Homo-oligomer: A and B are copies of this chain.
């Protein structure tokens, strides 16, 4: 489901451009264990085979395989067979989830001229799977409420809250209107949510050619970009409230689960939504009247973009079939030995919107090759200390269904046993993108240093470092050169890590290569084997690199003597977040004060152009000072504990005392859990992590220390101080746990 390679991320140890010492490179291994691990990894790295990935992609993408389709089940069974043939203990776990599929879809301009949208992606002769129309899901947005509405049309740019402020200042209201928004700028589900909050009665979302059409290159099949009839499908369920089955929040959607009625499900949209192509959007946009939009709103169509509405009126009808569908999660195990009750989990979804060669099979075929390689090592006699669980999730596209329902079903076991969750999704050429828990930042940097980039021949770590030095902001350039580890981004949402980290507090990482290829087939019928093998990682060498990176991470987590968490990275990162929050408050306070002063002075009145009048923004209440002391105190504790742990770890690992390790590991795997709060975030208690969450108004984009940050951003000042205390409490808990582990480690040396 994930669409963009987010902030490149990679890590390493040692000074910039200098290899790190061996012990940090193999964080978590006693000196006496390093060579065996290195030998094992060398054997592992040689195994993933691009030719097999290519064949697996061809097989899995041969037919549409969305949730509920015959080929979705067929794929799951084939994957199950693969795992079994690799020697894994594997099974399919089923869930029954609400998944609407379209019955009726109408978009038509009825004034000032008429135009009926085709809503049809056409088959392309050279592309052999594009004509499987009887099996394809028509273009739609899953979890749009049914509706039949007619109203004036208004263009709302990306449809995020700031866009509505701009509309209001130009005197354009969306009350009773159907809005048309560009894809991008936020996760798609935010668009109907915010439109509905502003009184709109319907929502269209289109792919502007400036963003993924002809502006970026030739359109498919001449090139990789979106053709005029291409449509981005996708879920619009309100995932920032909770992902997974809308009818079973917080519990597994097993056969006999207690279910909400559809009317009770909070994550279904309040207004009907439909995605359309830029071919269908152009006549609608060209019909708009009203003022001309700001430069930053303009797209790549050869028209004048206007706010609307003018004469433009649109009829929108959406109706779905709302039955339960069955999910097929493939779950496979290699049992651990000495620490079998510590689980290292790895996953990638297998369901797609249509044929899904890139999304998700480019990642799925890498995961399969990892599994084959691990199975081969296992058959050759290697045994992991810890239990390894590989998952091929179903139902990710509609809303992380397969992973969420599995996590909710096994929540207690996972809280007790999960060491970490390692996710991937789509994969292409370029740079190793990494996001995740900052307690694993140092660890994953070490992995990236040991995986060769297929194009440049240097490590994936070094290639990302080079890009950051060349293209980063001054701050990012300096860090890329001087910081021991390349900084990793925090996890928002948009793929199957979300239930692990957000709902349980399982330390998680998300890996994938990207950044070199543009494409415009996301969630369309053109995301298929023909497209991928012509325009993306055509030789599957980046598929191999992903298998190497993720596989080595799994091997190290499974074999480590001491779990390779490093809390100084966490503490330093959180310190940055707290500084961000402080300056965010100050900036907001200054903006509000400035703005109010400007309003009082009449500056907006003086500068309004009578031919395109713009009103002054609303006055806002001045921002109060906040009491950051609890967070700053907690940071002190965390910094202190992390340093103490580091010293103890360095001594213990340096001297290699295996007797200490077991009790330490049992508590180390709880360290991420300490960062959660049982009551969860305000108005969305499913999200319990106090450091990371997808933004309530961004959808995929992360908000760090979300309780505090969103209170400040949304001007809910009365909440901010309380949220500071809650976040501080989690950090204090974390500090206490780490200190205790450090004491144990020290006592044992």
Contacts and interface: CB of A to CB of B under 8 A. Distances in A.
Interface of A: 17, 209, 214-218, 223, 225, 292, 298, 300-305, 429-430, 453, 455-456, 458, 462-463, 466-467, 469-470, 516-517, 598, 601-611
A603 B214 contact: no
A601 B610 CA distance: 57
A609 B302 contact: no
B302 A209 contact: yes
A610 B470 CA distance: 17
A5 to B, nearest CB: 14
Nearest to A17: B601
A453 B602 CA distance: 15
A214 B300 CA distance: 11
A609 B455 contact: yes
Contacts of A303: 214
B598 A469 contact: yes
A214 B302 contact: yes
A516 B292 contact: no
B301 A463 contact: no
Contacts of A467: 606-607
B606 A456 contact: yes
Given A466-B606, A610-B455, A301 B302 contact: yes
Nearest to A430: B609
Contact of A216 (B292, B469, B606): B292
A650 to B, nearest CB: 30
A601 B16 CA distance: 11
A430 to B, nearest CB: 7
Contacts of A301: 302
A217 B455 contact: no
A19 to B, nearest CB: 15
Contacts of A608: 456
Contacts of A469: 598, 603
A674 to B, nearest CB: 39
A93 to B, nearest CB: 41
- Tell me which of A209, A223, A430, A611 has the highest count of chain B C-beta atoms within 10 A of its own C-beta: A611
A601 B470 CA distance: 11
B302 A456 contact: no
Contacts of A215: 298, 304-305
Contacts of A225: 304
A516 B302 contact: no
Nearest to A305: B215
Contacts of A611: 429, 516-517
A9 to B, nearest CB: 16
A607 B456 contact: yes
A190 to B, nearest CB: 24
B214 A463 contact: no
Given A216-B304, A223-B304, A466-B602, 15 more contacts: A209-B302, A215-B298, A218-B304, A429-B611, A456-B606, A456-B607, A462-B606, A463-B607, A466-B601, A467-B606, A469-B603, A470-B603, A470-B607, A516-B611, A517-B611
Contact of A456 (B218, B463, B516, B605): B605
Contact of A603 (B429, B466, B605): B466
A607 B302 contact: no
B470 A604 contact: yes
A597 to B, nearest CB: 9
Contacts of A217: 292, 304
A686 to B, nearest CB: 38
Nearest to A462: B606
A681 B561 CA distance: 73
24 contacts: A17-B601, A214-B304, A215-B298, A215-B304, A216-B304, A217-B292, A300-B300, A302-B302, A429-B611, A453-B606, A455-B610, A456-B607, A456-B608, A458-B606, A463-B606, A463-B607, A466-B602, A466-B603, A466-B606, A467-B606, A469-B603, A470-B598, A470-B603, A517-B611
A583 B565 CA distance: 44
A473 to B, nearest CB: 14
A607 B214 contact: no
Contacts of A292: 216-217
Given A214-B302, A292-B217, A466 B607 contact: yes
A223 B458 CA distance: 56
Contacts of A453: 606
A662 to B, nearest CB: 42
A467 B605 CA distance: 10
Contacts of A609: 429-430, 455, 516
A598 B610 CA distance: 52
A101 B462 CA distance: 59
Contacts of A462: 606
Contacts of A463: 606-607
A608 B302 CA distance: 33
A610 B516 CA distance: 10
A603 B463 CA distance: 8
Contacts of A209: 302
A466 B605 CA distance: 9
A298 B302 CA distance: 13
Nearest to A457: B606
Contacts of A17: 601
